Structure 1
Amino acid sequence: MSARLARARRLGALLLLAGTVQATPVHASADQPEFTVTGAPADRRDVITWGASADRMSNAVADRGYRLVVHTSVAGRDLRVRLSNAFGDRPVTFDSVYAGIQKAGAELVHGSNRPLTFDGARSVTVPAGGAVLTDPLPGRIPAATDLVVSIHSPDAAGPATGHWMAMQTSYATQGDHTAEEGADQWTEVLGSWFYLDAVTVRPLAGTGAVVALGDSITDGWQSSSDLNRRWPDYLARRLHAADADVQGVANEGISGNKILADGGGQSALKRLQRDVLSQSGVRTVFFFEGVNDIKAHTGVTAQDLIAGYRQVVERVHAAGKCVVGATVGPYKGWSEWDAAGEQVRQEVNAFIRDSGEFDAVTDLDHILRSPYDPERMLPALDSGDHLHPNDKGMQAMADAVDLNSLDCDSRSRTG
């Protein structure tokens, strides 16, 4: 622990960059929409302990309650919740928001459910395209906690904002039952998260976070639901066990996501600011995307993708953070595979490995591929669809990450 405290003192300047959630507008580039976060200003010591990428959902329903189950990574005090209306076409009001600890299903640990406030008020209205950060909730939240955030909106309408593929069971109800710790009213089962896109805590000084920016493999498709076996979950467990300086892990994967084009969510270039750079305490971005651009048969070339990678790297560096690039994994056997796409994948992977433009590289292609047919995934790691790893493959990916590569001193990227 003393080594971590020594590291914290050396990183004092870095912490001025770490708390990037802002109470003022985050101005958009030509590639991204305007996104604002209102509410209590983020403390520079806050670090994201859970996150999920925002996307457009089906139309919202008024007088609806959501009981959302999420799994924390880093421990800390003064929990805050970020509620997003990024894809709404009108303001949405939240008149009751609580945070508690899951006991089983929709039932909470007795005495754990407490109200969250917004600048001292119990209710808040979030503008279309924006988000709001709650006041800090006193007390400590351990690592690997099944946190439950219960929210109610009396007037929600139009497109809701949320995350489709949670790989986690949550619950819904009509009416406001957010204060109740029992499960009786929470009878509707959900496989998505609504409105909630980040949870932060204030951990030990010097602690930072890594954001995994990716597609369905990062999102956890084909991993076991409700068991937190996505590869970023395994990575969080490794970081916690190692008592690393980076312990916060935010999973910003979206199934079907591409770097260059919208489809499964907005493109990585469009959502980079909102989903990644606006989050608190982020020290490093782990960038693992590209297969969906390649296999879509839209004529995307290796040079097109390389230009996209370079834009991400440039913007992450401009924000004072570091970026780890991950090679694109094998997918022969998937219905969209062909030799032309494979050639693009090989050229892109050569760039990721050899260009020197990333601060570090994790060769996930090498970890996942079969030694007998390197265009295919190793059968023991394959979920069966030849694109998405199974639980064992997810763990192998996390085990391949050099933990030291995530503890990047970003001060060299400023100025």
Structure 2
Amino acid sequence: MNGRTGRGLCLAAALLTAAACQAGPASRSVSLSGAHGRPSGVLTWAASAERLGTGVPGAQYRMIVHTSVGGSAPRIRFTNAFGDHPLTLDHVYAGLRARGAALRPGGNHAVTFGGAHRATVPAGSVAWSDPLPGRVPAGSDLAVSLRTPGAAGPASGHQLALQTSYTGLGGDLTAGDGGTRWTGTTGSWWYLDAVAVRPDRPATGAVAALGDSLTDGRHSTPDRNRRWPDYLARRLHTARGALQGVADEGISGDKLLTDGTGDGAGQSIGHRLDRDVLSQPGVRTVVLFAGVNDLKDHTGVTAARLIAGYRQLAHRAHAAHLCVTAATITPFKGWPEWDRGADAVRREVNDYLRTRGDFDAVADFDRALRDPRDPARLQPRYDGGDHLHPDDRGMRALADAVDLKRLDCAR
């Protein structure tokens, strides 16, 4: 057993013991409203909520999330943002993962809401759990298990998790440490959108990466945490600065200016800024990386409209005393919807981002990924195969293009 594993087992055991001492009556239930009990800590993980399929009554989920900053008193946020029925959460547990669906021995502990083990989240709302005792290490896998006994209507969660989580039906699976009875898998996070901790240093903050499928990590390797926000989290952890938490608030297909259409389409970045960033604990900086979906959909989007959208988002974030790093739009020649007109708009927007002072910093993602021989294309070594999404090496190049010294500012 190495030192890190030994500490994790001790922490998991401490979580279980303290939770058992504080457990209340199993039959108690509470109805939550609004952003119940927003914590004062800092985000260690987050994923933007979107509409999933229809909720399944009696379904059980064991969802795996990867932390960025370590800390104590973890709290979990559950979402019913797109539901049209109240969401009842029952038999909710959390613990550090060992492997697959199995948890570290003795590490699964009950999650409560206002002291109750059963909670109802109204349609359109989110709710935070009570703080759990013990610590969650940085760079660990936290397993959140829940049951939705009366699920109905649209479910809320995150479609493209790029992380294997687990499902099961029948019996009560959520309280156990073992993984053998979790016979199904899912590539989405259901009803779960954030985890916060109390960091060791009170001044610790978080970065929210706000964007589309390039931020969501499409074409990065599943189950390996190789999205560019993951690489950024590792850089921040090594630098040991004031910013340690990283929240990946990317949604595939998302646009800067307009909502998507059809089932599962995400709200525009402007429409979800409050829920995904401004309401989250400890976020001090936003990295805004968006616009390519607006360009490639050929909806008559002009540079002036995109620039106005950037400025509006920067104004809202600054009004909330957040720093804003703007990322330039990366090339996509070779994608079926590319044309010279869209690329001209892209280059005009990027010139604005590089030269105007509407932001606190600029991350030149375009320069990091473009092919010097044809700047409208991705470099072949970074191309994930469709000429739009970078592979793992490209994701790392994006994270490396962020100037860590300029992420934090005085606001």
Residue 15 of structure 1 is matched in structure 2 by none
Q: Output one character per residue of 1:13-52: Cα deviation in whole Å (capped at 9) or x when no partner.
A: xxxxxxxxxxxxxxxxxxxxxxx64433422xx0000000
Aligned residue identity for 1:168: Q
Does residue 121 of structure 2 align to residue 126 of structure 1? Answer: yes
Q: RMSD of the TM alignment (CA)?
A: 1.1
Residue 31 of structure 1 is matched in structure 2 by none
Residue 17 of structure 1 is matched in structure 2 by none
Aligned residue identity for 2:243: V
Residue 138 of structure 1 is matched in structure 2 by 133
Secondary structure of the residue that 1:286 maps to in structure 2?
Answer: strand
Residue 149 of structure 2 is matched in structure 1 by 154
Q: Output one character per residue of 1:239-258: Cα deviation in whole Å (capped at 9) or x when no partner.
A: 00111110000000000100
Q: Within 1, Cα distance between the matches of 2:294 and 2:271? A: 15
Relative to the length of structure 2, the TM-score reads 0.90
TM superposition shift of 1:351: 1.1
Residue 188 of structure 2 is matched in structure 1 by 192
Secondary structure of the residue that 2:76 maps to in structure 1?
Answer: strand
Q: Within 1, Cα distance between the matches of 2:408 and 2:302? A: 33
Q: Within 1, Cα distance between the matches of 2:255 and 2:36? A: 31
Contact 2:39 2:196 in 1 (8 A): no
Residue 88 of structure 2 is matched in structure 1 by 93
- Distance change >3 Å, CA 38–CA 309, structure 1 → 2: closer
Task: Spell out the pairing of 1:72-87 with structure 2 (5 A cutoff).
Answer: 72-87=67-82
Q: Output one character per residue of 1:143-167: Cα deviation in whole Å (capped at 9) or x when no partner.
A: 0001100011111110000100000
Residue 268 of structure 1 is matched in structure 2 by 269
TM superposition shift of 1:362: 0.6
Q: Output one character per residue of 1:284-317: Cα deviation in whole Å (capped at 9) or x when no partner.
A: 0000000000010111111111111111001101
Aligned residue identity for 2:238: A
Q: Within 1, Cα distance between the matches of 2:91 and 2:198? A: 23
TM superposition shift of 1:184: 2.2
Structure 2 residue ranges without an equivalent (≥5) = 1-32
Contact 1:37 1:131 in 2 (8 A): yes
Contact 1:116 1:137 in 2 (8 A): yes
Contact 1:223 1:389 in 2 (8 A): yes
Contact 1:39 1:119 in 2 (8 A): no
Secondary structure of the residue that 2:318 maps to in structure 1?
Answer: helix
Q: Within 2, Cα distance between the matches of 1:217 and 1:104? A: 28
Contact 2:70 2:135 in 1 (8 A): yes
Contact 1:56 1:161 in 2 (8 A): yes
Q: Output one character per residue of 1:359-386: Cα deviation in whole Å (capped at 9) or x when no partner.
A: 1001100010011111111111111211
Contact 2:39 2:75 in 1 (8 A): no
Q: Within 2, Cα distance between the matches of 1:399 and 1:38? A: 34
Aligned residue identity for 1:184: T
- Distance change >3 Å, CA 63–CA 394, structure 1 → 2: same
Contact 2:38 2:281 in 1 (8 A): no
1:217 aligned to which of 211, 214, 217: 214
Q: Within 2, Cα distance between the matches of 1:131 and 1:383? A: 35
Task: Spell out the pairing of 1:161-240 with structure 2 (5 A cutoff).
Answer: 161-175=156-170, 176-203=172-199, 204-240=201-237
Aligned residue identity for 2:177: E
Residue 11 of structure 1 is matched in structure 2 by none
Q: Output one character per residue of 1:180-206: Cα deviation in whole Å (capped at 9) or x when no partner.
A: 111122111100000000000000211
Q: Within 2, Cα distance between the matches of 1:183 and 1:83? A: 23
Residue 18 of structure 2 is matched in structure 1 by none
Secondary structure of the residue that 2:348 maps to in structure 1?
Answer: helix
Aligned residue identity for 2:122: P
Which one is further off, 241-250 or 174-183? 174-183
TM superposition shift of 1:134: 0.5
Aligned residue identity for 2:183: T
Aligned residue identity for 2:192: L
Does residue 397 of structure 2 align to residue 396 of structure 1? Answer: yes
Secondary structure of the residue that 1:211 maps to in structure 2?
Answer: strand
Q: Within 1, Cα distance between the matches of 2:407 and 2:197? A: 19
1:254 aligned to which of 251, 254, 267: 251
TM superposition shift of 1:408: 2.0
Secondary structure of the residue that 1:348 maps to in structure 2?
Answer: helix
Does residue 238 of structure 2 align to residue 241 of structure 1? Answer: yes
Residue 350 of structure 1 is matched in structure 2 by 351
Q: Output one character per residue of 1:99-129: Cα deviation in whole Å (capped at 9) or x when no partner.
A: 1111111111111111111011111100000
Contact 1:39 1:135 in 2 (8 A): no
Structure 1 residue ranges without an equivalent (≥5) = 1-35, 411-415
Aligned residue identity for 1:242: A
Aligned residue identity for 1:142: P
Secondary structure of the residue that 2:375 maps to in structure 1?
Answer: coil
Count, aligned residues: 374
Aligned residue identity for 2:254: N
Does residue 283 of structure 2 align to residue 282 of structure 1? Answer: yes
Contact 1:68 1:170 in 2 (8 A): yes
Q: Within 2, Cα distance between the matches of 1:267 and 1:331? A: 21
Residue 5 of structure 2 is matched in structure 1 by none
Q: Output one character per residue of 1:198-247: Cα deviation in whole Å (capped at 9) or x when no partner.
A: 00000021100000001001000000000000000000000001111100
TM superposition shift of 1:87: 0.2
TM superposition shift of 1:331: 0.6
Q: Within 2, Cα distance between the matches of 1:200 and 1:276? A: 13
Contact 1:381 1:392 in 2 (8 A): yes
The alignment-based identity, stated in percent, is 58
Secondary structure of the residue that 2:231 maps to in structure 1?
Answer: helix
Residue 43 of structure 2 is matched in structure 1 by 48
Aligned residue identity for 2:173: H
Q: Within 2, Cα distance between the matches of 1:406 and 1:148? A: 30
